[in-house]
Structure 1
């Protein structure tokens, strides 16, 4: 069984949204603030899906493809 990654990185956001990697870093910072997380904590695919409004299945499909 292949395990999918649980966390999202700026490069993932770049590929999913078509925006720049810098936008991905900024968005992750906003998501951390929204979920009241510390700067060293990761953002999960579920949190990214909830914040962005993108269906979790689309995100998981991308993460499976990349892994």
Structure 2
């Protein structure tokens, strides 16, 4: 089953940034999407904010989880 939500640990692995930087980026993505604190961030939200290709990110997350 494909992943829908993305977490700071995933962002850190995808971008090569530290976990703390990934948490800050996730906070900015959540704010840009108009979601409340603690709400889930979808792969689509993340890709819309960063400009990354959603298919590539989803593929990388699927590869990482297997």
TM-score w.r.t. structure 1 length? 0.90
Gaps of 5+ in 1: none
In 1, distance between residues paired with 2:3 and 2:58? 9
In 1, distance between residues paired with 2:58 and 2:31? 23
* Corresponding residue of 1:41: 39
TM-score w.r.t. structure 2 length? 0.91
Greater strand share, 1 or 2?
Answer: 2
- What is the RMSD computed on CA atoms of the aligned residues? 0.8
In 2, distance between residues paired with 1:49 and 1:28? 11
The structure 1 residue matched to 2:29, chosen from 28, 31, 35, is: 31
Gaps of 5+ in 2: none
Q: CA offset at residue 35 of structure 1?
A: 1.1
Q: CA offset at residue 63 of structure 1?
A: 1.2
SS in 2 for 1:27: helix
How many positions carry a matched residue from both structures? 65
* Corresponding residue of 1:53: 51
